[in-house]
Amino acid sequence: MKKHWFYFLIVSFLSISAFAQPQKPKLVIGIVIDQMRYDYLYRFWDKFSDNGFKKLMTKGFVCHNAQYNYMPTYTGPGHASVYTGSTPAFHGIIANNWFDKNTRKLTYCVEDENVNTVGSKSDAGKMSPKNLLATTITDQLRLATNFKGKVIGISLKDRGAILPAGHFANAAYWFDGDKNGVFVSSTFYQTSLPQWVKNFNKKGLPKQYISKTWKTYYPIEEYSLFCAPDNNKYEGTFKGKAKPVFPYVLEELKDSNNYYSILKATPFGNTLVKEMAKAAIEGEKLGNDAITDFLAISFSSTDYVGHKFGPQSVELADTYIRLDLEITDLIQFLEQKIGKENFILFLTADHAAAYPPKYLSDKGYHINHLSEDQVFEIINNKLKNKYNIDSLLLSVYNQQLYFDMDKVTQNSLDLENVIEFVEEELIKINGVYKVYSGEDILEMNKIPVLKNLILGYNQKMSGDVLYILKPGWLSTKYNTGTTHGSPYRYDTHVPLLFYGKNIPAGETYKQINITDIAPTLAALLKIQEPNACIGKVITPLLKSK
């Protein structure tokens, strides 16, 4: 009997010890793809390699119904929400740009006049995470490791590098285009670039890529199954290019398209980011010890291409086919350099995108555009006619209306009556579907599309009246390319894939909110969730013990 008790105690001790000291990954890689719709995984499936998206989906865990749960769905709030596990209502990044009620000027989500560029003489580095009100999962990792675990953010876009990297990052790097063609940072992080970044910039990859000609990866006729014809009226194109057709000789187009900045709207922008990410892993020795590091990567060329050419274009399809090869190369590099059992990788998007209204309208679905400039002009004229006061409306931005409260007070206007009048006039405009005041939103019910307004509404920063366009309508004046920002599924449904250490092969069709990523990573890393986190752990992803 004593012998059995002895074995029981030994087994219990070993079990408790193993549970108390979980092995953590040496490196976490977060990949955010700018403007990726969930359906692209399957739309381009037959053209993907076996070791990129397909490998992540067949060997990793797939969340088929990952959704953004707020409005507006833009790049800044998207990256902030993924990494804070929160929404604009709490983390404060309510859009890429927003109208500041106090200064009465537009504010860019990562602008910071108190810091300077590191790496070039331009103003591209006058950026920081100062407007981000919440901590990120990367911040929590830094805190949990007593600032010994490294965090690096990399993207073509400043906001795509800074917001994921958080407040305590070792560094964030983004691409300074035009005639510079280098990755830069900010004095928020450091006073000079580390040697590995200087060496990377000296390699002159942008100069090599700008001498290339962008041709389709496969014969162009093979794109006809999932793309509109290469030359169609729904696509924009580069300056100096008469038609949106392949091939694109970048050397001939660079002078008319901000020189190295043209790379952003080609697949070579993604190549540049991938190579920078690999250089960061080697240069910072990420994943080289038992203390977990974090590399946040954002691929932005997909967004630039999507905005210019639209989701029906050959250009967009070719960009994703080539991005699949970049992801293949990155996974192979990680498995060779770090080892599959030593890293966790997740891949998602910061928002999706709509089809061009003109494209759908010509097919028989009669929708259109309604720009914010049009709304501003209509409502300002209505207010002028009713109250005989100029410029009662200061701005219409992100489908939000901001009133001049000084004029409301000076003219003894009843704000509630003004708002009620504006709501009545807004709803008359063709294309407007729903109108709400700020007070309405704070008392709103739980209808999914409408709940997105609540979680995207920040009482201090957002507008006085908000409106939603009809499904399919875009808040732009252009008939080519596409945009995003709505609370509808074509903008909110994105991929979400997990792969690597302790990640089982599997899938779930349960709705997963984008805010669930950060708490899930916290559970995997055994650290505290970000301080404004509202998400829940994706429990099917965690192996049972």
For 87-237, strand residue ranges (E) read: 97-99, 106-108, 117-118, 151-155, 171-176, 182-186, 213-214
Same domain, 463 and 392: yes
Same domain, 353 and 448: no
- From first to last of its 545 residues, the chain has per-residue pLDDT tens of 455 554 544 445 444 444 555 689 999 999 999 999 999 999 999 999 999 999 999 999 999 999 999 999 999 999 999 999 999 999 999 999 999 988 999 999 999 999 999 999 999 999 999 999 999 999 999 999 999 999 999 999 999 999 999 999 999 999 999 999 999 999 999 999 999 999 999 999 999 999 999 999 999 999 999 999 999 999 999 999 999 999 999 999 999 999 999 999 999 999 999 999 999 999 999 999 999 999 999 999 999 999 999 999 999 999 999 999 999 999 999 999 999 999 999 999 999 999 999 999 999 998 999 999 999 999 999 999 999 999 999 999 999 999 999 999 999 999 999 999 999 999 999 999 999 887 777 666 556 667 788 888 888 899 989 999 999 999 988 888 899 989 999 999 999 999 999 999 999 999 999 999 999 999 999 999 999 999 999 999 986 44
Same domain, 377 and 356: no
Same domain, 531 and 419: no
Q: How far apart are CA 493 and CA 457, in angstroms?
A: 20
List all residues 6 or more positions away from 381 whose beta carbon is below 8 Å from its beta carbon.
none
Same domain, 304 and 394: no
- Angle, helices 137-144 vs 517-525, to 10°: value is 20
Tell me, what's the pLDDT at 544? 45
How many other CB atoms are found less than 10 A from the CB of residue 108?
Answer: 16
**pLDDT tens-digit profile of 240-291?**
999 999 999 999 999 999 999 999 999 999 999 999 999 999 999 999 999 9
Same domain, 349 and 399: no
Structure tokens at 35: 């403007």
- State how far the alpha carbon of 191 is from the alpha carbons of 115, 194, 277, in Å: 10, 9, 21
- Locate all alpha helices (DSSP H) within 457-510, ordered by sequence: 489-492
Residue 477 within a domain: no
Residue 443 within a domain: yes
Tell me, what's the pLDDT at 13? 47
Question: HSE of 434 in the Cβ direction (CA atoms, 13 Å)?
Answer: 16
Tell me, what's the pLDDT at 444? 65
The single residue of 75, 84, 348, 483 carrying the catalytic annotation is 75
Residue 296 within a domain: yes
Same domain, 312 and 174: yes
Structure tokens at 105: 């000027």
Same domain, 351 and 445: no
Same domain, 211 and 333: yes
Tell me, what's the pLDDT at 23? 82
Element (H, E) at 64: none
For residue 155, what are the domain limits? 27-60+71-100+107-360+488-541
Residue 212 within a domain: yes
Asked about 75 being catalytic, the answer comes back as yes
Residue 219 within a domain: yes
Domain end residue (candidates: 469, 496, 517):
469
DSSP class of residue 313 equals S
Same domain, 142 and 251: yes
Residue 399 within a domain: yes
Residue 199 within a domain: yes
Q: What CATH number does residue 197 fall under?
A: 3.40.720.10
Same domain, 310 and 384: no
Contact yes or no for 324/48 (Cβ under 8 A): yes
Q: Can you give the pTM of this predicted structure?
A: 0.93
Element (H, E) at 124: none
Give the total number of structural domains in the chain.
2
Tell me, what's the pLDDT at 14? 47
Q: What CATH number does residue 423 fall under?
A: 3.30.1360.150
Residue 480 within a domain: no
Tell me, what's the pLDDT at 20? 52
Tell me, what's the pLDDT at 457? 85
Same domain, 460 and 336: no
Element (H, E) at 345: strand 343-349
